[in-house]
Amino acid sequence: MKVLVCGAGQVGYGIAEQLSAEGNDVTLIDVRPDLVQKVNDTLEARAYVGNGAHPDVLERAGARECDMIIAVTLHDEVNMMAAQVAGTLFDVPTKIARVRSQTYLNKEWAKLFSRGGMGIDVIISPEREVGEMVLRRLSLPGAFDNVSFAEGAVASIGLTCDSDCPVIDTPLRQLSELFPDLPAVVVAVQRRGEIIVPHSDDHIAEGDDVYVVTPAGQVARTLSIFGQAEAPTRRVVIAGGGNIGLYVARELERRHTGVRVKIIEASRGRAEEIADHLERTVVLHGSALSEELLREAEIASADTIVALTNDDQVNILACALAKQLGAARSLCLVNSSGYASVIRSFDIDSEINPRFITVSRVLQHVRRGRIIAVHSIGSGAGEIMEAEALETAPIVGKALKDLPQLKGVRVGAIVRGGKVIVPDGDTQIQVKDRVILFARTDNVRDVEQLFRVSIEFF
């Protein structure tokens, strides 16, 4: 696949890195010569200096032969125009644009991106994506990761196995013997920074981060078995009243009337502005690094501190200070992947990286075959995917144990006719099955091939 990426910042570079590693033909465009040089020096991709919204730049970068354009520059208008120009002048089939300004995303303006408007196929809003991820984490405080698949029928949850986890040192095959009526599958384990595809004889060790796929109705019980059953969030302190902080507070007001929310915002003008948009949320002006202000926000009785400022260091330190002052849990927004290795040393329970969320959203539109959803985990080391088996797909009618392509892949659940099935080696995939699985990054192409359809299907 030939992919044109506009914007070589963290997100654009991450997308190009992933796609080029998988053998795609990737070209980047950016106005900054230093970022272009970095791409040319470090990736198996080409990069050009220029404005991605300019037709001559797009043509020079090969837009006429591209299968997809992904516009993720820092400027919404450049992204929107680049996608529109690519479609109008160069007939690029798939056009994806990142749009951060919330005014473009109001439902009343939805016609703007339709075929009769700018003709953009996919709009990605990092603020809303991150905001929804925060809300999911708050809804399941015992999990550091929480994603739904198959229209909400199946959940993938990430759990940290502490020393008091009841199933430490238990082989995975014994979990099904101990809990025969629990339809849950451990699909991936992250141990000392390495992603492992577990087998039935493997066991869970203290400190492991495990990813479990289970029916949505079994999430609470799964959390309990892994020693992570916690009371629902009732008191939240948000550090940072930017777009994400405002979105989270407003949605908590709308969806959960019993949740008490307080926001700490450093800018007086912004604090006054967001206070006008919120009804029950208390807005405090000041620094989230102020012990006095955190005490005023009653941090000692807070279920969760959520740090959502634009400064990674402020977020990390605010979470660490809040935990010292008595906050039960902490959730930290971190843009730089360089902090990933030190997050836990600050007693931070969970982090969210907007770049990984955006890359995941893009990848589900890049994946070949009938790949419906993609969630990147382990700093991009693997993906939890949802795929649909169509009539001519190679995976249909074969037992899972007879598919050599599934090495490095673990199937967590199958949704068939609205029913969630926990598979074993003898399970055969049927037409129209929704399959939720984990694949290491170097095995993603095998999954795509298993779910591809032949020309006879059309």
Could you write out the DSSP letters of every residue in 34-61?
HHHHHHHHHSSSEEEES-TTSHHHHHHT
Residues 6+ apart with CB under 8 A from 257: none
Q: How many residues does the chain have?
A: 458
Three-state DSSP at 215 gives: strand
Residue bearing tokens 């040192």: 169
Tokens of 335: 């843009």
- Are the beta carbons of 12 and 30 closer than 8 angstroms? yes
Average pLDDT by consecutive 10-residue portion of the chain (458 residues)? 93 88 91 95 94 96 95 95 96 93 82 87 89 91 90 93 87 83 90 88 90 93 86 91 94 92 96 94 96 96 95 95 95 83 81 85 78 86 92 90 87 94 92 95 88 59
53 and 75 inside one domain: yes
Question: Quick one: which of 115, 51, 41 has its CA closest to 79?
Answer: 51
Q: Identify the CATH number of the domain in which residue 403 sits.
A: 3.30.70.1450
- What are residue 203's phi and psi, to 5 degrees? -125, 165
Q: What pLDDT was estimated at residue 456? A: 46
In a domain, 373, yes or no: yes
301: domain CATH number is: 3.40.50.720
Boundary (domain end) residue, out of 86, 102, 124: 124
Range of the domain at 430: 357-457
| Residue 343 DSSP label | T
What gap in Å lies between CA 175 and CA 201, rounded to an integer? 11
Name the token pair of 257: 């009337």
The residue from 124, 139, 168 where one domain ends is 124
Query: 340 and 378 in one domain?
Result: no
**In a domain? residue 108:** yes
Q: What is the Cα–Cα distance from 220 to 227, expressed in whole angstroms?
A: 11
Same domain, 12 and 115: yes
CA angle 253, 314, 33 (to 5 degrees): 110
Decide: 142 and 159 in contact? Cβ < 8 Å. yes
Considering the domain architecture, whether residues 377 and 338 belong to the same structural domain is answered as: no
Helix, strand, coil abundance in the chain, percent, nearest 5: 40, 25, 35
State the Cα–Cα distance between residues 378 and 399, nearest whole angstrom. Answer: 29
- CA separation for the pair 142, 161 (Å, rounded): 11
Q: How far apart are CA 145 and CA 150, in angstroms?
A: 17
Residues 367/368/370/375 CA torsion (nearest 10 deg): -20
- In a domain? residue 439: yes
Q: What is the pLDDT of residue 289?
A: 96
Residues 199 and 263 in one domain: no
Number of domains in the chain: 4
Q: Give a yes or no: residue 212 inside a domain.
A: yes
Q: How far is CA 434 from CA 135, 241, 302, 411, 453, in A?
A: 26, 39, 39, 11, 15
CA distances in angstroms from 45 to 66, 136, 356, 441, listed in the order given? 14, 36, 20, 18
SS3 (DSSP) at 164 = coil
Cα dihedral 81, 246, 263, 357 sign:
negative
Q: What is the token pair recorded at 231?
A: 């009371």
- Domain final position from 195, 225, 255: 225
Q: For the whole model, what pTM was predicted?
A: 0.81
∠ CA 416-132-242, rounded to 5°:
170
For residue 179, is it within any domain?
Answer: yes
Residues 151 and 94 in one domain: no
